[in-house]
Chain A
Amino acid sequence: GAGVSQSPRYKVAKRGQDVALRCDPISGHVSLFWYQQALGQGPEFLTYFQNEAQLDKSGLPSDRFFAERPEGSVSTLKIQRTQQEDSAVYLCASSLAQPSSYNEQFFGPGTRLTVL
């Protein structure tokens, strides 16, 4: 596709429910990032993939959060036993970046998660 896509765009979950958020990066982009953005805040880094390797998951707030990118393209962010504090917009971004350089990150539209 022309850009980064995410699905679903909106998700309402009951507290304790598991959710899975999908990100389709731009074809050929090596790097993939997940961010959490609370209302009125800047994005907060969650995790980073280079191809299928998860190189940094230091931003995941708890062990209820899990991300994967098994074939180095599509990525899934899974949140188990959702809590109200998980309510936020989850942004996915991809870039061509190789380890020794940096390129612009292209963001998807985000998934707005509301936990009741």
Chain B
Amino acid sequence: GQNIDQPTEMTATEGAIVQINCTYQTSGFNGLFWYQQHAGEAPTFLSYNVLDGLEEKGRFSSFLSRSKGYSYLLLKELQMKDSASYLCAVYNAGNNRKLIWGLGTSLAVNP
């Protein structure tokens, strides 16, 4: 079966650091994506991990451990505009290139 788990909601303070975890159990794996989605808007691409380790991109970093079926998105120096839903998605090339999506983590950044 296909299963992707991430926390439903998180709260953090402006200027702080927050880590959003994602665990997955899928029949195939060719990469993991993180997308950001503001309310009422389309998802926008944040990161793509296919190899183990940490990928850093400005204030955002994403980590992958394929052996553990685990990823996290790390957001530093939080800003109010980071309040959004963060979606974890697994790509399986053998599954007609589908992305299997988690339900998303709603992050609220408070002043």
Interface residues of A (CB under 8 A from B): 4, 31, 33, 40-45, 48, 55-56, 58-59, 91, 97, 99, 102, 104-110
Contact = CB atoms under 8 A, between A and B. Distances in A.
A110 B43 CA distance: 10
B67 interface: no
Interface of B: 30-31, 33, 41-45, 48, 87, 89, 91, 93, 96-104, 106
Contact of A97 (B33, B97, B102, B106): B97
Contact of A102 (B31, B43, B100, B106): B31
A56 B96 contact: yes
Contacts of B41: 109
Given A42-B103, A91-B42, 16 more contacts: A40-B104, A41-B104, A43-B43, A43-B87, A43-B101, A45-B98, A45-B100, A58-B96, A97-B97, A102-B91, A105-B99, A106-B45, A107-B42, A107-B43, A107-B44, A108-B42
B45 A105 contact: yes
Nearest to A98: B97
Question: By CB atoms of chain A within 10 A, which of B30, B41, B98, B99 has the most?
Answer: B99
Contacts of B102: 42
A109 B96 contact: no
A104 B48 contact: yes
A48 B42 CA distance: 18
Q: What 6 pairs between A and B have smallest CB-CB spacing?
A: A42-B101, A107-B42, A56-B96, A104-B45, A42-B103, A42-B104
Nearest to A35: B101
A18 B97 CA distance: 29
Contacts of B100: 45
Contacts of A105: 45, 99
A45 B100 CA distance: 8
Given A107-B43, A107-B44, A41 B96 contact: no
